Amino acid sequence: MVASVHPLATEAGLAALRRGGNAVDAAVAVGLTLGVVDGKNSGLGGGCFILIRRADGQLIAIDGRETAPANATRDMYLRDGKPRPELSQQGPLAVATPGALAAYDLAIREHGRLTLSEIILPAAEIAERGFLLDRSNASAQASAGRILARVNGGTCSLLKPDGSPWQEGERLQQPDLAKSLRGIAREGVDHFYRGPIAEQVGQWMAEHGGILSRDDFANYRPVLREPLVTKYRDWTIVGFPPPSSGGVHVAQILNILEPFDLQEHYRRDPGQYQHLLAEAMKLAFADRAYWLGDPDHARVPRGLVDKQYARQLAARIDLNRVTKVAGHGDPTAADERVFEKHTTHIATADAAGNWVAMTQTINTTYGSKVIVPGTGIVLNNEMDDFAIAPGAPNAFGLVGAEANAVAPGKRPLSSMSPTIVLRGQTPILSVGAAGGPTIITQSLQAIVRRLDLELPLADAISQPRIHHQWSPDRLRVESRLDDQLKKDLRLRGHVLDEVGNMGVSQAVEYDDQTRLFRGVADPRVPGRAAGP
């Protein structure tokens, strides 16, 4: 079963399964194809987290998060002492060293059955042949077209030759990207990290005021992390550890909610149920802003996922009223027990028992907007996921502290939350999302709705979502949320921001009654979930 945001990417994953590949090969095939057909969200120029449950039961977390260039400095986005977010969000200085390809390569070498070249060539063919732009790609081109053209000196390979955006239904061909993909198929990842692509990017950066260098590419390494395994009622939640904040905070929020009978609240008083979720989210995000960062550079307390700490936080929730949360809490033994360390989510599973939850990103739409001529690769703006100054909000309005300050070689904090749920030893759900900090709260709501509320998976993904990230102190809700619920939340003291659609989630589950997989691609975008 394969679930992704684009039918061509899902088809690439299914083709990998049909050729004898497993769920890992399928996830990487989807990831590489999304870089071609959904380049606004992810691709070779970005990073990813790959969470794998192997058929033999082993749990693997591959960290392909981008790293800050060696010449990055803590205050590189300050001018006259003031933060300049536009520098971390667009153009050469926004780009961190890409990690996705190195992570894909490690995943399939150690846990797949196909070769990188077998998986990458079909993606190269789509780049060459072109594909018809859907509504979401066309609207991203329309809104980012001017910036893409400006950042790339008048025009770029993603736009029409006259610099205007492609329209829905038109065919987008990417010959430069096809050439890059074919070069990698021929020469392996060295073509990217130690060959012509690193050279071209390094040279362009030196000529355009960037700091990312050929050596940053050569020095990039994916990191094997210890998956974050916690208990929630009868289930085991397997999450991604820092530099993802997703695993920690999905687990922390579930821990805060555990003393409550969520199904009972949902049935008897749905407003109270939504309020409870919002208050738990707020408490966790206050901790995120203070404690979370790259565990190789900052001391991230393991106590954040302790049950006892969660009980203390849960006790602060008033079921009838908003509680003011002034700042972070103090998890158990914060000094001693630490973690040693716009986006898209892919869920795959195979009959042998391999499961993958993989989230990948170049950060916001078209990342830094930089496409170094000749490469066709959209470079990320992941540097904006650092706290560029204490308290300065990033593109998602998130604030951070010292733990997430810029430093050379450091990985910016992420919200990506690839999650696998087990009952006993049996995997039953792979889930994750796209959409900045809402990734955490989308994944959480999918889990709670499926496990606690026992909603069908399709409803767990499609029903309207809420999101609270502590700062700003406002509750974001999808406008489709029932009017009575909105009224109820306002009466409890929430200030509501209504938005159209919030994020995009994908999930795969195993139904032990029918002994079948079920996949769901979020209906908010035209994705697809299917089996071979």
Judged by CB under 6 A, the residue of 365, 414, 438, 505 near ligand GLY is 414
Name the active-site residue from 33, 97, 343, 375. Answer: 343
Task: Please name the residue that has the structure tokens 């979720």.
Answer: 277
Minimum distance between the CB of residue 471 and ligand GLY, rounded to whole angstroms? 16
Minimum distance between the CB of residue 432 and ligand GLY, rounded to whole angstroms? 11
Nearest Cα residue to 361 out of 87, 39, 52, 72? 39
Nearest Cα residue to 281 out of 423, 433, 448, 132? 448
Nearest Cα residue to 406 out of 136, 168, 71? 71
Judged by CB under 6 A, the residue of 66, 118, 294, 385 near ligand GLY is 385
Distance of CA 250 to the CA centre of its chain: 13
Q: Which is nearer to ligand GLY, 46 or 165 (CB)?
A: 46
Q: Which is nearer to ligand GLY, 33 or 360 (CB)?
A: 360
Minimum distance between the CB of residue 416 and ligand GLY, rounded to whole angstroms? 5
Judged by CB under 6 A, the residue of 97, 274, 348, 361 near ligand GLY is 361
Judged by CB under 6 A, the residue of 10, 213, 363, 441 near ligand GLY is 363
Identify which range of 70-78, 410-418, 468-476, 518-526 contacts ligand GLY by CB under 6 A: 410-418
Contacting residues for 103 by C-beta, under 8 A, at least 6 apart: 47, 48, 49, 50, 62, 63, 64, 222
Judged by CB under 6 A, the residue of 365, 415, 419, 505 near ligand GLY is 415
Strand boundaries in 301-383, DSSP class E: 344-349, 355-361
Looking at residues 416 to 455 of the shown chain, list those that interact with ligand GLY (rule: CB under 6 A): 416, 436
Q: Does 211 interact with ligand GLY (rule: CB under 6 A)?
A: no
Minimum distance between the CB of residue 164 and ligand GLY, rounded to whole angstroms? 28
- What are φ and ψ of residue 381, in 5° steps? -120, 45
CA distances from 387 to 83, 269, 400, 440 (A): 10, 38, 5, 18
State how far the Cα of 4 lies from the Cα of 506, in Å rounded to an integer: 6
Q: Does 406 interact with ligand GLY (rule: CB under 6 A)?
A: no
Identify which range of 54-62, 251-259, 414-422, 468-476 contacts ligand GLY by CB under 6 A: 414-422
Q: Which residue is nearest to ligand GLY (CB)?
A: 414
Q: Which is nearer to ligand GLY, 367 or 527 (CB)?
A: 367
* Identity of the residue numbered 361: T
> Helix 23-37 and helix 7-18: axis angle, to 10°?
150
- Cβ burial of 515 (10 Å; 0-12, 13-18, 19+) is exposed
Judged by CB under 6 A, the residue of 136, 236, 343, 506 near ligand GLY is 343
Q: Does 344 interact with ligand GLY (rule: CB under 6 A)?
A: no
Known catalytic residue at 343:
yes
- 494 close to 485: Cβ distance less than 8 angstroms: no
Minimum distance between the CB of residue 414 and ligand GLY, rounded to whole angstroms? 3
Q: What six digits make up the tokens of 131?
A: 């594909």
Q: Does 469 interact with ligand GLY (rule: CB under 6 A)?
A: no
Minimum distance between the CB of residue 356 and ligand GLY, rounded to whole angstroms? 18
State how far the Cα of 252 lies from the Cα of 323, in Å rounded to an integer: 18
Minimum distance between the CB of residue 362 and ligand GLY, rounded to whole angstroms? 8
Residues lying near ligand GLY in the complex (CB under 6 A): 343, 361, 363, 382, 385, 414-416, 436
The residues carrying an active-site annotation are 343
